[in-house]
Amino acid sequence: MLDMLQRSTVHLLKKRGYKKKEIARMVGCHRNTVSKVLKERPDKTYKRKRIPSQVDIYWDKIVKWLEEKVPVARMLEMAKEDKENPYQGGKSAFYDRVKLIREEVEKEKNIAIWRFEGLPGEYLQVDWGKIPAKSLKGKRISYKYIFVARLKYSRFVFIKFTHTMDEETIIRCILSCFEAIGGVPWVLVFDNIKTVTTGRSSEGNPIWNRTFLKFALEIGFHPDVCWMRSPNQKGGVESGVKYVKTNFFPGREFANDDDLLKQAEEWMKRINTKKNQATAKPPVEMLKEEKPHFSPLLENAKDYGIMLICKVTPSSVVHFETNFYSVPEKYINCKVQVRVRKERIDIYHQNTLISSHKRCFEKRRWIRCLSHYQKTFQKKPRAFSMAKREKLLEKNEIISSYIKEIARRYPYTWQKDVDTLYHLLTAHGEEKLREAILRAAKYGLFGGSYVEAFLENSLELVPVFGKTSDPSLTFYESYVRGGKL
C-alpha cells in the first residue's frame, strides 16, 4: 500500500507524461497499483479493515457489565461460562477488547456542557461541606459542617457553620440566608441529599422529603435537585463549597468558635463587595437588581415552626427527637401537627393550638402539663401525687433533695407532704419554696407542714430556755400541730 507521498508522486508523474509502466518502475510498485491510485484522490486515507474478534459476540453483555461495574476478570469468567458461545480466546485479547469497548461507550456518552446564566431572583444553589480537618486542631472548633448558598445571577455568597446537617438545621440555615439576601428566590437547587429528597420514582422524578416539601410550599419557593449522573449540574452546585474551602480556609487559624464566625463574617463581606470575574460587578451591586424579583419573606429562622405529623400515644404525649410532650388526653390516638420552633414546641389539632411547651434539649425527658390529665387524676389520685412529685423533682437541687428525703423517711405517707409542697410551689413560687426548704432542712425538719410554717407564719428562730441553740424537733412539731409556746 502506497503512502500519501508516493500517491502524490504517481499523480505528478502522470501529469508530466510518463506511462504507467514507467511510473510503476520509478515508484517501485505494480502497474495495476498505479492504475488504481490514478483513479483515486492523492490524499485518500485507508483504514485498516477490522478483523472480527471473538470477544465481539459478547458486545452487548460487556456494555451491560460495564454499567454494572463488573470487574474485567469476572467478565472473562462469565464469557468462558457462556452456554451458547463459551469464550476460548486468550486473556490479553479479551482485556484489550474490553478496553476498546469501554472507550467507545464513554465516547458515546460525551455531550457538550451547556452553560447558562440565571435570571435575576431565579436560582439559589445550596450545598453542604465539611470543615477541613486541619482547621479543627486541638478541638478548639466545635463546628463540623458548612452550609453554603450562592445566587446564580449575582454570585452573592452566604455561609453558615453548623454542628449537624439534619432537617431542622438546613431549614433554619435557608431561612437565615433568605434574611441575609432580603427575600425568597424562585428556585433552590440542591444535590441529592436525604433532607431534601428520599430518592427517585420509576419515572425518574424526585421523591420529596415530606417535611422539606411542606417548608418549601409555606415559604414559597420551588425545590430542584441535580439529575442523577449529571456531573455538570452537580459541579455547579458543589462549586460554592469548593470555593469556600479553597479561598477561606487556607492560611487561616482560629482561636475558637467565635473567632471562626468573626473571620467568616469579614470574608463574606470582602467576597461580596469585590468585583466578580464573571459579571465584572460586585455581588452586592448585582443583588440590588435581584431583590425586586424575590418573593417576600414572611418567616424568620428563629420563629418558624417546622411542621411534623405525629400520632398521640396512649400516654397522651407526642414523641419528638428523644423527648415526650403532653397534650390534653381527649386527643389520644389522634394525628396532630407539631410545629418545632427554635425554643418552643407548639401542637395543633385541625389548625387549633392544643398544647405549647418550652422546648427541651436534654435527652429522654417527659415534658407534661398536669392540666392535660384531669380526667385521669380524678380516677387515679395516686397518679396525681406521683405527677406532682415529678414536677417537684424537676426543680432545683435543693427542692429535689428534700423530696427524695421525704420519700425515703415516709415511704407510705409521702403523698400528703408532696401535695402540700406542690401547693406551696404554685402559691409562692420556686425561689420562696427553696428558701423555706433550706431553713427546714437545716434543722432536720422534713415534711410539708414544716415548710408551710416557715412560709405562712414567717417562723423565726428564737432562743429556747435562755439558750441560743437550735430549737428542738419537739418544739416545732408542737407549733405546726397547733400547740402554743
pLDDT tens for each residue of 79-136: 999 888 899 889 999 999 999 999 888 877 766 555 556 789 999 999 999 988 777 6
Q: What is the DSSP letter of 359?
A: -
Query: Of 22-26, 52-56, 391-395, which gets the smallest average pLDDT?
Result: 52-56
Mean pLDDT of all residues in the chain?
86
Q: 142 and 278, same structural domain?
A: yes
**Can you tell me the distance from the alpha carbon of 353 to that of 25, in angstroms, rounded to the nearest whole number?**
105
**Can you tell me the distance from the alpha carbon of 34 to that of 12, in angstroms, rounded to the nearest whole number?**
12
- For helices 414-428 and 397-409, the axis angle rounded to 10 degrees is 160
Counting every residue written for the chain, the total comes to: 485
* Mean pLDDT value across residues 266-279: 92
Q: 159 and 287, same structural domain?
A: yes
In a domain, 117, yes or no: no
Q: What is the pLDDT of residue 47?
A: 60
Q: 338 and 317, same structural domain?
A: yes
Chain position carrying cell 418567616? 299
| Domain limit, last residue, from 266, 293, 320 | 293
Q: 218 and 153, same structural domain?
A: yes
Query: Of 12-26, 169-183, 397-411, 414-428, which gets the smallest average pLDDT?
Result: 12-26
Q: Is the pLDDT of residue 52 over 90?
A: no
In a domain, 49, yes or no: no
Q: 216 and 145, same structural domain?
A: yes
In a domain, 47, yes or no: no
For 311, the domain range is 306-373
Give the Cα-Cα-Cα angle 475, 478, 481 (nearest 5 degrees). Answer: 145
Q: What is the pLDDT of residue 141?
A: 85
pTM of the predicted protein model: 0.66
> pLDDT band for position 335 (50/70/90)?
very high
Q: Of 76-90, 136-150, 160-174, 202-216, where does the model show the most confidence?
A: 160-174
What sign results for the dihedral spanned by CA atoms 211, 212, 218, 219?
A: positive
Burial class (CB within 10 angstroms; exposed 0-12, middle 13-18, buried 19+) of 111? exposed
In a domain, 171, yes or no: yes
Q: Is the pLDDT of residue 469 over 50?
A: no
Q: Is the pLDDT of residue 191 over 70?
A: yes
Q: Is the pLDDT of residue 232 over 50?
A: no
Q: 275 and 162, same structural domain?
A: yes
DSSP code per residue over 172-240: HHHHHHHHHHTSB-SEEEE-S-TTTEEEE-TTS-EEE-HHHHHHHHHHT-EEEEPPTT-HHHHHHHHHH
Q: Percent of the chain at pLDDT above 90? A: 57
Q: 393 and 315, same structural domain?
A: no
In a domain, 48, yes or no: no
> Which H or E run includes 147?
strand 145-151
| Domain limit, last residue, from 62, 80, 109 | 109
Q: What is the pLDDT of residue 422?
A: 93
Q: 449 and 363, same structural domain?
A: no
| Domain limit, last residue, from 322, 344, 373 | 373
Q: 68 and 31, same structural domain?
A: no
Beta carbons within 8 Å of 248's beta carbon, 6+ residues apart:
159, 264, 267
Q: 229 and 192, same structural domain?
A: yes
Q: Is the pLDDT of residue 380 over 50?
A: yes
> pLDDT band for position 471 (50/70/90)?
very low
> Which H or E run includes 477?
helix 473-480
Q: 265 and 158, same structural domain?
A: yes
Q: Percent of the chain at pLDDT above 70? A: 86
**Can you tell me the distance from the alpha carbon of 344 to that of 474, in angstroms, rounded to the nearest whole number?**
48
The answer to whether 21 and 30 have CB atoms below 8 angstroms apart is no
The answer to whether 451 and 432 have CB atoms below 8 angstroms apart is no
The answer to whether 306 and 216 have CB atoms below 8 angstroms apart is no
* Mean pLDDT value across residues 162-185: 95
Stronger pLDDT, 53 or 232, i.e. the higher one: 53
29 phi/psi in degrees, rounded to 5: -145, 180
Give the N- to C-terminal CA distance of the chain in Å, as an integer: 134
As for how many domains the chain has, the answer is 5
In a domain, 365, yes or no: yes
> pLDDT band for position 278 (50/70/90)?
confident
| Residue 314 CA, distance from chain mean position | 32
In a domain, 135, yes or no: yes
Q: 251 and 274, same structural domain?
A: yes
pLDDT in tens, 418-437: 999 999 999 999 999 999 99
In a domain, 46, yes or no: no
Helices (H), 380-429: 381-393, 397-409, 414-428
